[in-house]
C-alpha cells in the first residue's frame, strides 16, 4: 500500500491532476450512459403501463427480473448491424454528425453540481457554458440531415434548426430569471442560494419561468410532442432516416443523454438540486432526511424524466406552425413579463429577497 | 509551456479553417469552417481569461447566427460555375481591397510594434481578484457604460422591428388559424341541441 502511495506522490502534479480528473470524468460518463440504457427501458415500461401493456418482459439478467436485460440486447443488436452509408452522401459529415450530436450532451455534465460542493469543473460561468453547449448540439441534427442527401432527412434538419433557435431564446430568458434570483452564474452557488426550505426554492417564486424552461427543454431535446424533426408519420424518421446500426444508436444516446441533462438542470435551477425537500421543516428536517445529498438530485431528476415520458404518452404531436407560435408568441412574452415582475420583487424586497 | 502549446494549436486550426472559409468550393463546407473558426477563437479568448466573451461568441455566433446561415446556405442550390463567371471582371476590385487591408495591418504593426516572442498576457488585471471576468464586465456595463449599452440595445430592437415590418405581408385570402378565436369558442357557437318530437304511432 505504502509503495503505491509513494509511487503516486512521486508523479508530477500535471500527470496526477490529469489522472484524477480523467477518472472522475470516466465515472460520470459511465453513470450517464448506464442511466440512458435503463431510461430507454423505463420509458417503454412506463408507457406500457400507461397503455395497459406490460412493456419489454422477455430478456432477463441471470434468469430473473424480466426485461432488465433489454437495453443490453438492444445495444448488441445495434452494434452488429451494418452501418449503411448512402451513395452520393457527404461521407465525412455523415460520419461525424452523430459524434457532434453526442459530444455536447456529455460535455455539459462537466459543470453539473453533482454533490454538495462538487462538480467536475466548478467554473464561475457555468450557466453560460451550459447555454452555449446546448446550442451547439443542433449541429449534429442539421449535419445529419444535410449529409444524408435525402429529402426527408433534410426536411427534418430544417425543422429542427428553426425549432432550436426559437426555443433557445425562451430557455435563455428563463435562465436570466434564475440568474437574477441567485446573483451568480455558478451552478453550485445557484443551488446554495435556494437553501432554507421548499418555499425558498426557485420553483415557487419563478414558477412561470420553471414551466417555460421545462417546456423549452422538452422542445430542445426533440421529444414528443415537439418531435417534428423526426415526425415518423410525415417524414419517416426525419434527420436520422438514413442512419442504421450503431450510428443510429449514437443519435439515440444523444437524445436520451440530453433528456437526463434537461431533467437534472431543471432540478438544479428550480428545485434546489441536491438540497433536501425536508430542510427547514421541524423535527423531520433535523434528522438525516433534511441533509443535502446527491440522492435528492437523483430523485428530482427521475421525477422530471417520468414527466417527459408522461408527456410523450399523453399528447399528440404539435403541428410545425403551432410549435413556432408557442415558442415565439407565448413562451418568450411570458418570460419577459416574469423577469419584470421578478425585478420589481427584488427592488421592493418581496419574498426570498426580503433579507 | 502547456498554455503556449494550446495557443499554437488553436492558432493553427484557426488559420487553417479561416483559409478554408474562402477557399473551399462547397458553401456548406465553408460555413462549417466558419463555425470551427469561431470555436477556436473562443478557445483562444479562454486562454487569456476572457471567458465571458468566449462563451458568448459560441452562444451567439455558433449557436444561433451560424445555424441560420447554414439553414440558408443548405437551401440554396448554388452553381459554382455561375459564381466564377465574373472572376476576371471583378478581380481588380478584390485586389485593391486586399492591398488596402494589408497596408492597414502593416501600418498598425509598424506603429505599435510586434514583440518577437508572443507572450500570453492575462488581459487587464481585474481590480478585484475575487471577482470573475463575467462579474467585472457586468459591473462596468451596467454602471459606467449603461447609456451606450442601452442605446445599442435600442438600436438592435429598432433593427428587428424594421426587418419584420419590411418583410411582413398580409396576403389576401390566406386561410390562417386564429388560435385566440378557437380557444374562445363556446359550446353554444358550435352545437345546437334540437328537441325533435318523436312521431306518434297512428
User: What is the average per-residue pLDDT within A251-264?
Assistant: 90
Please tell me the distance in Å from B147's CA to the nearest CA on chain A: 19
Is the sign of the CA dihedral A158, A160, A165, A167 positive or negative? positive
Residue of B108, B186, B131 whose CA lies nearest to A185: B131
pLDDT (tens digit per residue) in A205-248: 888 999 999 999 998 888 878 887 777 777 777 778 788 888 88
For residues A163 and A252, is the Cβ–Cβ distance under 8 A? no
In terms of phi and psi (left: phi > 0; alpha: psi -120 to 50; beta: otherwise), the region of A197 is beta
For residues A321 and A150, is the Cβ–Cβ distance under 8 A? no
CA angle A310, A315, A318 (to 5 degrees): 135
Complex-level ipTM beyond the 0.95 threshold: no
Highest mean pLDDT (candidates A304-308, B26-30, B108-112, B128-132):
A304-308
Contacts of residue A205, Cβ cutoff 8 Å, sequence gap at least 6: A181, A342, A345, A351, A352
Q: Which residues of A touch B (CB under 8 A)?
A: 14, 93, 123-125, 128-129, 131-133, 135-136, 138-139, 142-143, 146, 154, 157-158, 161-162, 164-165, 168, 185, 321, 325
Q: Is residue B3 within 8 angstroms of chain A, CB to CB?
A: no
Contact A168 B75 (CB under 8 A): no
Domain segments of chain B: what residues? 1-81, 86-116, 130-168
B1-81 under CATH 1.20.120.1200, yes or no: yes
Q: What residues of A are in contact with residue B32 (Cβ under 8 Å)?
A: 93, 143
Contact B59 A132 (CB under 8 A): yes
Residues 51-110 of B with CB under 8 A from A: 51-52, 55-56, 58-59, 62-64, 67-68, 70-71, 74-75
For residues A191 and A201, is the Cβ–Cβ distance under 8 A? no
Is the per-residue pLDDT at A286 higher than 80?
no
pLDDT band at B152 (very low <50, low <70, confident <90, very high): very high
3-state SS record for A125-167: CHHHHHHHHHHHCHHHHHHHHHHCCCHHHHHHHHHHHHHHHHH
What residue of A is the nearest CA neighbor of B134? A125
Beta bridge mates, A153: none
Q: Is residue B30 within 8 angstroms of chain A, CB to CB?
A: no
Q: What residues of B are in contact with residue A140 (Cβ under 8 Å)?
A: none
Of all residues in chain A, the percent with pLDDT exceeding 70 is: 98
Contacts of residue A89, Cβ cutoff 8 Å, sequence gap at least 6: A147, A148, A149, A150, A242
Estimate to the nearest angstrom the gap between the alpha carbon of B118 and the chain centroid. 30
Amino acid at each position: 500500500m505504502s509503495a503505491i502511495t509513494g509511487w503516486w506522490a512521486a508523479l508530477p502534479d500535471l500527470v496526477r491532476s490529469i489522472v484524477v480528473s480523467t477518472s472522475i470524468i470516466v465515472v460520470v460518463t459511465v453513470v450517464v450512459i448506464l442511466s440512458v440504457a435503463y431510461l430507454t427501458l423505463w420509458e417503454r415500461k412506463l408507457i406500457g403501463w400507461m397503455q395497459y401493456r406490460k412493456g419489454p418482459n422477455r430478456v432477463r439478467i441471470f434468469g430473473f427480473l424480466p426485461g432488465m436485460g433489454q437495453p443490453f440486447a438492444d445495444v448488441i443488436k445495434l452494434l452488429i448491424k451494418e452501418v449503411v452509408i448512402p451513395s452520393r452522401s457527404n461521407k465525412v459529415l455523415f460520419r461525424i454528425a452523430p459524434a457532434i450530436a453526442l459530444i455536447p450532451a456529455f460535455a455539459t455534465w462537466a459543470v453539473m453540481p453533482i454533490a454538495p460542493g462538487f462538480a467536475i469543473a466548478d467554473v464561475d460561468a457555468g450557466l453560460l457554458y451550459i447555454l452555449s453547449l446546448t446550442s451547439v448540439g443542433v449541429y449534429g441534427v442539421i449535419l445529419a440531415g444535410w449529409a444524408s442527401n435525402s429529402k426527408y432527412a433534410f426536411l427534418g434538419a430544417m425543422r429542427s434548426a428553426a425549432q432550436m433557435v426559437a426555443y433557445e431564446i425562451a430557455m435563455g430568458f428563463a435562465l436570466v430569471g434564475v440568474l437574477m434570483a441567485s446573483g451568480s452564474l455558478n451552478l453550485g452557488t445557484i443551488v446554495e442560494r435556494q437553501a432554507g426550505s421548499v418555499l425558498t426554492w426557485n420553483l415557487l417564486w419563478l414558477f412561470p419561468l420553471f414551466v417555460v424552461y421545462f417546456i423549452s427543454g422538452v422542445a430542445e431535446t426533440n421529444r414528443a410532442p415537439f418531435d417534428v424533426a423526426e415526425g415518423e408519420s410525415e417524414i419517416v424518421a426525419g434527420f436520422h432516416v438514413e442512419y442504421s446500426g450503431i450510428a443510429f444508436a449514437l443519435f439515440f444516446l444523444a437524445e436520451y443523454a440530453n433528456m437526463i441533462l434537461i431533467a437534472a438542470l431543471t432540478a438544479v435551477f428550480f428545485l434546489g438540486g441536491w438540497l433536501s425537500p425536508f430542510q427547514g421543516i421541524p423535527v423531520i428536517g433535523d434528522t438525516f432526511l433534511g441533509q443535502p445529498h446527491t440522492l435528492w438530485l437523483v430523485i428530482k431528476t427521475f421525477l422530471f424524466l417520468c414527466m417527459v415520458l408522461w408527456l410523450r404518452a399523453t399528447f399528440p404531436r404539435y403541428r410545425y406552425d403551432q410549435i413556432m407560435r408557442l415558442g415565439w408568441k407565448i413562451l418568450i412574452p411570458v418570460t419577459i413579463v416574469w423577469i419584470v415582475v421578478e425585478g420589481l420583487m427584488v427592488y421592493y424586497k418581496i419574498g426570498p429577497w426580503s433579507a | 509551456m502547456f498554455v503556449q502549446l494550446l495557443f499554437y494549436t488553436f492558432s493553427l486550426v484557426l488559420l487553417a479553417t479561416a483559409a478554408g472559409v474562402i477557399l473551399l468550393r462547397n458553401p456548406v463546407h465553408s460555413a462549417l469552417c466558419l463555425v470551427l473558426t469561431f470555436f477556436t477563437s473562443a478557445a483562444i479568448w479562454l486562454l487569456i481569461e476572457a471567458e465571458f466573451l468566449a462563451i458568448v461568441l459560441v452562444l451567439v455566433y455558433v449557436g444561433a447566427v451560424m445555424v441560420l446561415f447554414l439553414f440558408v446556405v443548405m437551401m440554396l442550390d448554388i452553381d459554382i460555375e455561375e459564381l466564377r463567371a465574373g472572376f476576371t471582371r471583378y478581380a481588380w476590385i478584390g485586389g485593391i481591397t486586399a492591398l488596402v487591408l494589408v497596408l492597414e495591418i502593416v501600418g498598425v504593426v509598424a506603429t505599435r510594434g510586434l514583440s518577437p516572442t508572443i507572450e500570453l498576457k492575462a488581459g487587464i488585471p481585474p481590480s478585484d481578484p475575487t471577482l470573475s471576468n463575467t462579474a467585472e464586465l457586468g459591473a462596468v456595463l451596467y454602471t459606467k457604460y449603461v447609456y451606450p449599452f442601452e442605446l445599442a440595445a435600442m438600436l438592435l430592437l429598432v433593427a428587428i422591428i424594421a426587418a419584420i415590418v419590411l418583410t411582413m405581408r398580409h396576403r389576401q385570402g390566406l386561410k390562417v388559424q386564429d388560435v385566440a378565436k378557437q380557444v374562445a369558442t363556446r359550446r353554444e357557437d358550435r352545437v345546437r341541441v334540437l328537441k325533435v318530437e318523436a312521431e306518434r304511432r297512428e
